[in-house]
Amino acid sequence: MDRLDAFARMVADSPGVARARFAYGVELQRSGRLGDAAEQFRAYLALQEDEGNAWQRLGECLAGAGRPDEAADAYLAGIEQAVKHGHHGMADEIQALMDEL
């Protein structure tokens, strides 16, 4: 069983576990399945407050899937969360991604 299948099984077995959703989203993003990854990041964000990373990843997936308006919304939320949690470098990185849209 590969990593993607393992994380898919974890999410299927425990859909309310935020960390499983995030990990599955990362694997989906790495494999180029951006729409599916975006769904997992959204599910993760519905379960848990994030400090910016998941918002950034969601924005990257949406941008890569040709959905720039949604990507900008995700990036803005990521910047807000990163600043809120004192991650100013991450906020700058997300801002740079948003500027590329």
Residue pLDDT, tens place only, 19-71: 999 999 999 999 999 999 999 999 999 999 999 999 999 999 999 999 999 99
The confidence score (pLDDT) of residue 94 equals: 98
Q: What is the DSSP letter of 89?
A: H
Write the CATH number for 61: 1.25.40.10
Helix pair angle (53-64, 68-84), 10° resolution: 170
Task: Please say if the pLDDT value at position 96 is more than 70.
Answer: yes
Domain count, the chain: 1
Above 70 in pLDDT, residue 15?
Answer: yes
Contact 93, 75 (CB under 8 A): no
**Domain around 53:** 3-99
